[in-house]
Amino acid sequence: MSHANGKVVPAAFPPPVHSPEEFIKNGLDAEDELIEVGVVIVGGGTAGLACANRLLQLLADDPETMERLGEVPVAVVEKAKTCGGHNLSGAVMRPAALEELFPELTREQWRKEGFAFGEVTKESVYMLTGPKSKLPVPILAVPNFKNHGNEVISVSALARFQQRQAEEGGAYVLTETSATKLIVEDGRVVGVRSGDKGRGKDGEPLGNFEPGTDIKAQATVLAEGCWGSLSGAAIREFDLAEGREPQVWELGVKEVWKVPKPLDRVIHTFVQPWPLKVAAQYGQLGGTWLYPMKDEKTGDDLVSIGFVVDLNYRDATTSAHDLLQTFKTHPLVKDILAGGERVAWGAKALPGGGYWSMPKLSMPGAVLVGDAAGMVDTAALKGVHHSIKSGVLAAESIYAALKRGNQDLSNYEEAVEQSTIGTELYQVRNTRQAFQKGFLIGSLLAGPSIMSKGKVPPGRQEWHRDDAEPMFIGDTKKRYPKPDGKYTFDKLSSVFITGNATRDDAPNHIRVQKHVPRELAETWRWMCPAGVYEIPDDAPEHGDVDVIVNYTNCVQCGAITAKGGRLTTPEGGDGPLYQIT
């Protein structure tokens, strides 16, 4: 149904995408036209690089297997200008997985490397009851927010550190390279194809055109992050989501501020009844964070501040970017940021379905890791340690298969299930689903679920797809402040400071229908933190309207996939260049 009770359902307007036809290549090119590597890892984020580093550690002690993998034992394909360039998170990380991966490094050395910013020693949680009021919430009442002993980090900086470690260990890291097709032969993944470079707006080859290349591998790791094109195609091609709940999504927008007075604690807030709405008709749920960051290299005091909103909302005027600006007008935040300046901004979608929404993790010749596999605990706002641990487990499974001389990677699934990933995600397996029935019902059921470690409510709770929610044009937008360019900011000035360098004549990598009901066009316009979608000034107030897609603004957040569109891989090197997000 395209309309429900006079409201527009995004799923009724699917994007012009033919997956897996567009993203699956049947068979390899001739041997003299391809690159052969031992293991190819698609995505140079925390999960993919953890896999590369752990695999290289194992191979360093096994020269015979290393030699058998050829001149390039491990290749990492990363579409950004550098690893970490498209990575963003809060982030307060549980440290064990990284300590296990690099046991020789102390946490003080992490900070000197520039990706860690201090151990959590104090924390507070508040409920925002209005634009100037708040109520403290005891940590004992919300144990999922307990962070004492965890480490504040930047995932973009962590990825750059992991890249250096991997290259020193012998990895071949291909940055500014998109992986656009998964290569399948005789029912097995045998590698990926890199994307063309140097095509014009209409796909025509320009003077600097370079065709893509098949990359043949004995094992493939899909570490693309939130619903990558190849991960999505693999899930469909191999029926990996059969018997699972649908994946649902959240969108986080983040700023980093340099401040004159250091923040002394980690702060989380509940944002209902302000600035989000409590009424079930709005379908809104979200939260915020404020994290202290002490830069050991410069001595600067920084603050990470962000707003996360679930993407199953129904009010088309819900905007994570503008909600963050609204949140900053609260006295709690103004006191922390007073006299400071914004030094970074970014946005990223994240998988929110948790345990029941995780697909089958292996297929013949390949595995899914990290966010590509949905390994995020949104009840605790934790996923980085799961990404790292999954990369390590994938490496160990691949290494064992290489030693056996076969490509059976199914033991990776059991390893994940028996690890902290499976244990922690299982304990919160039924925590968030009730919020799809409204904030009040969700609040009543979430506490017992957390306290009972998922036993209450019993059984398997269902998720409903984000794009199945009927959209209406509501009034959430009335709470947004007018940007002043000093403390509150518009979307385009925010995109500017990401270092986005997408060519003006690059091919369009965003797929949406361009003539849709006003309710859906408004959904895209408000949702996108980068101002990609516009509605012409002369468009009618009701009925169908045209949509202008300013795809060169895109910061690769991926949110459009949740609400009726699809983000595909851009040309290698396009998109933001995050440094400290």
- Per residue of the chain (581 residues), give pLDDT as tens: 465 556 899 999 999 998 778 999 999 999 999 999 999 999 999 999 999 999 999 999 999 999 999 999 999 999 999 999 999 999 999 999 999 999 999 999 999 999 999 999 999 999 999 999 999 999 999 999 999 999 999 999 999 999 999 999 999 999 999 999 999 999 999 999 999 999 999 999 999 999 999 999 999 999 999 879 999 999 999 999 999 999 999 999 999 999 999 999 999 999 999 999 999 999 999 999 999 999 999 999 999 999 999 999 999 999 999 999 999 999 999 999 999 999 999 999 999 999 999 999 999 999 999 999 999 999 999 999 999 999 999 999 999 999 999 889 999 999 999 999 999 999 999 998 988 888 878 878 787 888 888 888 888 999 999 999 999 999 999 999 999 999 999 999 999 999 998 999 999 999 999 999 999 999 999 999 999 999 999 999 999 999 999 999 999 999 999 999 999 999 999 999 999 99
**Beta-carbon count within 10 A of 189 CB:** 26
Give pLDDT, residue 548.
98
Return the closest-CA partner of residue 407 out of 195, 230, 216. 216
Distance between CA atoms of residues 122 and 147, nearest Å: 8
Q: Residue 34's beta-bridge partner residues?
A: 214
* Residue 44 neighbours by CB under 8 Å, 6+ apart: 76, 77, 78, 80, 83, 84, 159, 163, 173, 175, 223
Return the closest-CA partner of residue 260 out of 292, 296, 301. 301
Distance between CA atoms of residues 181 and 31, nearest Å: 18
Distance between CA atoms of residues 291 and 54, nearest Å: 29
Distance between CA atoms of residues 565 and 528, nearest Å: 12
Give pLDDT, residue 1.
44
Query: For 18-115+154-195+212-245+355-430, CATH number?
Result: 3.50.50.60
Distance between CA atoms of residues 304 and 156, nearest Å: 13
347 three-class SS: strand
Whole-structure pTM over 0.85, yes or no? yes
Distances (CA, A) of 313 to 11, 83, 395, 458, 462: 14, 32, 38, 26, 17
Distance between CA atoms of residues 538 and 531, nearest Å: 18
CB-based contact 254:88 (threshold 8 Å): yes
Name the token pair of 178: 């998109």
Strands 3-4 and 219-222: what pairing? unpaired
Beta strands per DSSP E along 99-167: 116-119, 123-130, 133-137, 151-153
Domain residue limits, the chain: 18-115+154-195+212-245+355-430
Distances (CA, A) of 245 to 210, 352, 390: 40, 11, 21
Distance between CA atoms of residues 157 and 84, nearest Å: 6
What angle, 0 to 180 degrees and rounded to 10, lies between the N-to-C axes of helices 420-427 and 411-418?
A: 60
